């Protein structure tokens, strides 16, 4: 790190978010911790996002603007990492916002406990006005080598402060959905220590027209992410210790959450259920016998059972009844 460099680099990928960007940038330029740089990576925006950043640049010297051709979220984050000067990295999505004490509290926790990653809780903010708590994990401090369950804590990149070195061997995979799932568990594996700040410091805005709620075969990219984690653990000669964790991640992420997304599609719901069944069964043929299936409550067990035995029409009706 160069002399007089900021301690924390905040990387903000930006693409067509003119309606949300001001709230995001306000929450960053007003942080109570000042030894920061804000890297606004304009990923080929076609709206007024670049002009908004330019106006902020005139007022706040810690804000740096970078313009690049559109390459997607992962590409913009990787670009930001390459140009960051800080010893710590923080990733903020440009349609979200954060508590003004976020950087200060995460840095303090990381320094006190000599941790490579500091984690906070999140809150989902819906455009309907609804708000939902999202835990960053139920722990105080630890590492994946001793506590394998930390491999599967909330996999968002945005509620975590990272020591920069972690991304020397890990990059965000370009061109897929679920890039966080494919990357953050690997970062947690590499960290010497992970510390938790039990406060909601990140506010994750949920747009009703978000790609995650729209019918698209890329919903199955989640299996590319899970396969990447499996490959990583095998490469580390450590897969056997994490097989139970990986199976649970497949059940929760690959089956449960993906089916919940599929059931809200306007068309081809049963076709998508069939594809999901094939992909889940290929990656983990014995998934149905995972303890999470049997301990998740009667309603979820019924849904898992219908899915296991390919009763997709009944499963669709069940979801409609429980909405």
Instruction: Provide the CATH number for the domain around residue 12.
Output: 3.90.550.10
pLDDT in tens, the chain (323 residues): 555 789 999 999 999 999 999 999 999 999 999 999 999 999 999 999 999 999 999 999 999 999 999 999 999 999 999 999 999 999 999 999 999 999 999 999 999 999 999 999 999 999 888 999 999 999 999 999 999 999 999 999 999 999 999 999 899 999 999 999 999 999 999 999 999 999 999 999 987 655 555 689 999 999 999 999 999 999 999 999 999 999 999 999 999 999 999 998 988 999 999 999 999 999 999 999 999 999 999 999 999 999 999 999 999 999 988 75
Could you list the residue range(s) of the whole structural domain that residue 94 is in?
8-209
pTM comes to 0.94
Answer yes or no: do 253 and 165 share one domain: no
Q: Could you tell me if 193 and 252 lie in one domain?
A: no
Of 221, 256, 200, nearest to 72 by C-alpha is 221
Asked if residue 309 and residue 177 are part of one domain, the reply reads: no
The answer on 104 and 30 residing in a single domain is yes
CA atoms within 13 A on the CB side of 314: 10
Look at residue 318 and tell me if it is in a domain.
yes
Together in a domain, 178 and 289: no
Question: 1 lies in a domain?
Answer: no
pLDDT of residue 320: 84
Q: Point out the domain boundary residue: 181, 209, 237.
A: 209
Q: Which two tokens stand for residue 73?
A: 């979220």
Tell me how many domains the chain contains: 2
Domain for residue 155, yes or no? yes
Please give the pLDDT value at position 2.
52
Bridge pairing between strands 194-206 and 36-43: unpaired
Same-domain pairing of 221 and 202: no
Look at residue 209 in the predicted model and tell me its pLDDT. Answer: 59
Domain stop point among 159, 174, 209: 209
pLDDT at 210: 55
Q: Within this chain, do residues 203 and 278 fall inside the same structural domain, yes or no?
A: no
| Separation in Å, CA 191 to CA 142, 150, 182 | 9, 11, 16
Distance CA 75, CA 11 (A): 12
Together in a domain, 204 and 289: no
What would the two tokens of residue 171 be?
């990059």
Distance CA 200, CA 121 (A): 4
- 233 and 318, same domain (yes or no): yes
One domain, residues 186 and 257: no
Residue 2 in any domain: the answer is no
Buried b (16+ CB within 10 A) or exposed e, 49-58: bbebbeebee
In residues, how long is the chain? 323
DSSP code of 257? I
The angle, 0 to 180 degrees and rounded to 10, between the axes of the packed helices 221-235 and 179-190 is 20
* Residue 152 and residue 242 in one domain: no
Q: Are strands 160-163 and 117-126 parallel, antiparallel or unpaired?
A: antiparallel
Other CB atoms within a 10 A radius of the CB of residue 308 amount to 16
The torsion defined by the Cα of 17, 23, 29 and 30, in degrees rounded to 10, comes to -170
Task: Answer whether residue 3 is part of any domain.
Answer: no
Strands 131-134 and 117-126: antiparallel
171: left (phi over 0), alpha (psi -120 to 50) or beta: beta
């Amino acid at each position: 790190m160069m002399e007089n460099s900021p301690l924390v680099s905040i990387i903000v990928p930006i693409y067509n978010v003119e309606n949300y960007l001001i709230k995001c940038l306000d929450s960053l330029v007003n942080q109570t911790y000042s030894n920061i740089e804000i890297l606004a990576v304009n990923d080929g925006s076609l709206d007024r996002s670049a002009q908004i950043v330019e106006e902020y640049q005139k007022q706040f010297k810690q804000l740096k603007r970078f313009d690049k051709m559109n390459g997607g979220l992962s590409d913009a984050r990787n670009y930001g990492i390459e140009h960051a000067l800080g010893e710590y990295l923080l990733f903020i999505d440009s349609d979200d916002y954060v508590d003004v004490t976020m950087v200060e509290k995460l840095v303090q926790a990381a320094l006190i406990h000599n941790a490579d990653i500091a984690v906070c809780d999140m809150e989902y903010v819906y455009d309907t006005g609804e708000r939902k708590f999202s835990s960053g994990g139920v722990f105080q401090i630890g590492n994946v080598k001793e506590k394998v369950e930390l491999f599967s804590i909330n996999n968002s990149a945005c509620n975590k402060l990272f020591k920069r070195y972690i991304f020397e061997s890990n990059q965000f995979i370009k061109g897929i959905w679920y890039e966080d799932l494919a990357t953050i568990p690997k970062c947690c594996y590499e960290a010497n220590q992970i510390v938790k700040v039990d406060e909601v410091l990140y506010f994750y805005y949920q747009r009703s027209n978000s790609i995650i709620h729209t019918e698209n075969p890329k919903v199955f990219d989640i299996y590319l992410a899970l396969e990447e984690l499996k490959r990583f653990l095998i490469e580390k000669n450590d897969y056997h210790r994490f097989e139970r964790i990986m199976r649970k991640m497949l059940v929760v992420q690959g089956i449960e959450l993906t089916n919940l997304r599929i059931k809200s599609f306007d068309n081809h719901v049963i076709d998508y259920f069939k594809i999901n069944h094939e992909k889940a069964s290929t990656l983990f043929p014995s998934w149905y016998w995972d303890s999470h299936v049997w301990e998740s409550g009667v309603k979820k067990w019924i849904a898992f059972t219908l899915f296991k035995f390919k009763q997709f029409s009944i499963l669709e009706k069940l979801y409609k009844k429980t909405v």
